[in-house]
Chain A
């Protein structure tokens, strides 16, 4: 099946710094990538949708200047958490979908801890 990777899997950063998370589709071209956030014991909430070569579409309540998303190629999307604060600590999960297949494939997630 299709494989999606995320890097890093776990990151700790100090408050005020920025963190970049990569999401890669390893064996297919992802025309659309989704970024979700999962709080402990809660469900996944969509943060933003990115289409290759276009600006990301953010969900209501998600600050686009804080969570910068770039989908520069058909196999890579990045999420940068700028000026991170402890309340940004969470589990960030990406998923990818190709134009050929309706199904989404999920990455393993990145656990961000901001101290």
Chain B
């Protein structure tokens, strides 16, 4: 079965530090990859997505992710985090049998001001 693994459960950073959140998936076919963010008390919002083309994808709020097919990875990066980036981040792949998204367990990011 397809799965998504996120390596870090909780990441704590100071403002201006660089961020990289790991995401690996297990799916041999054509993949569509997503990163979602869930701010405290709010609903899931799409940060960025990869369907095809340039493997370096730029999203909103300065986030980017790189699709490395050989490593089955889609890591999320941001050069300089802000306190407002404190949230839970979910990696997902569109690999479900119903066309649904399969989510990783999420990574909680806490940014200290």
Q: Which A residues have a C-beta under 8 Å from some C-beta of B?
A: 32, 34, 42-46, 49, 57, 93, 95, 97, 102-104, 106-109
Interface secondary structure of B, over-half rule: loop
Total interface residues on B, CB under 8 Å, equals 21
Q: Which B residues have a C-beta under 8 Å from some C-beta of A?
A: 32, 36, 42-46, 49, 51, 90, 94, 96, 98-106
B44:A93 contact, CB within 8 angstroms: yes
Neighbouring B residues of A42 by C-beta, 8 Å = 105-106
- A34-B100, A93-B44, A104-B101 in contact; A43/B106 too (CB < 8 A)? yes
Q: Which residue of A lies closest to B90 (CB)?
A: A43
Contact of A108 among B36, B42, B96, B103 (CB under 8 A): B42
Query: What separation, in Å, do the CA atoms of A109 and B90 have in the docked complex?
Result: 16
| Best-buried of B45, B94, B99 by chain A (most CB within 10 Å) | B99
